[in-house]
Structure 1
Amino acid sequence: MDPQDHERFREFVDDRWSALLRLANLLTGGDRHEAEDLVQSALMKTLGRWRHVDDPEGYVRTVMYRHQVSRWRLRRPHREPALGTPPDRAAPADAAADAVLRLTVRQALARLTPRQRTMLVLRYFEDLSESEVAKLLGCSVGTVRSTTHRSLARLRVLAPELGTPARPTPAATGGSRPRGARA
Structure 2
Amino acid sequence: MNAEPANAPGATGPPGAMPHVEVRFPGSRDEQFAAFVADVGPYLLRVALLLSGDRNHAEDLVQTTFERTYRSWERARGTDPRAYARRVLVNLRIDRWRGARREVLAAPDTLPQHASPSHADAVDTRNEVVRALAELPLVQRKVVVLRHLLDLTEAETAGELAVSIGTVKSHNARALARLRTLLMEGRQ
Q: State yes or no: 1:34 paired with 2:29.
A: no
Structure 2: gaps spanning 5 or more residues: 1-26, 103-117
Q: What is the deviation of 1:13?
A: 0.8
TM-score where L is the length of structure 1: 0.71
SS in structure 2 at match of 1:159: helix
Query: Is the CA contact (8 Å cut-off) linking 1:123 and 1:133 kept in structure 2?
Result: yes
Q: State yes or no: 1:61 paired with 2:82.
A: no
Structure with more relative contact order (C-alpha pairs < 8 Å, separation 6 or more): 1
Query: Is the CA contact (8 Å cut-off) linking 1:24 and 1:35 kept in structure 2?
Result: yes
Could you give the per-residue CA deviations for residues 26-78 of structure 1, whole angstroms, max 9, x where no partner exists? 1112x11111111111111111101122221111011112222233344578x
In the TM superposition, what are the counterparts of 1:133-152 in structure 2 within 5 Å?
Answer: 133-152=157-176
Count of residues in correspondence between the two structures: 144
Q: State yes or no: 1:156 paired with 2:166.
A: no
Aligned to 1:82: none
TM-aligned CA distance change 1:120 to 1:76, over 3 Å? farther
Which ranges of 4 or more aligned residues in structure 1 deviate by more than 6 Å?
none
Distance 2:85 2:149 in 1: 16
Could you give the per-residue CA deviations for residues 81-117 of structure 1, whole angstroms, max 9, x where no partner exists? xxxxxxxxxxxxx822211100100111112122111
SS in structure 1 at match of 2:147: helix
Letter in 1 for 2:176: L
TM-score where L is the length of structure 2: 0.69
Aligned identity (percent) is 43
In the TM superposition, what are the counterparts of 1:83-162 in structure 2 within 5 Å?
Answer: 95-160=119-184
TM-aligned CA distance change 1:24 to 1:152, over 3 Å? same
Distance 2:180 2:154 in 1: 21
24, 29, 34: which one aligns with 1:5 = 29
Q: What is the deviation of 1:158?
A: 2.6
Structure 1: gaps spanning 5 or more residues: 78-93, 164-183
The CA RMSD measured in Å over matched residues stands at 2.1
Answer with 1 or 2: which has the greater Rg. 1
Distance 1:134 1:110 in 2: 21
Distance 2:95 2:168 in 1: 16
Query: Is the CA contact (8 Å cut-off) linking 1:72 and 1:115 kept in structure 2?
Result: no
Distance 1:162 1:64 in 2: 31
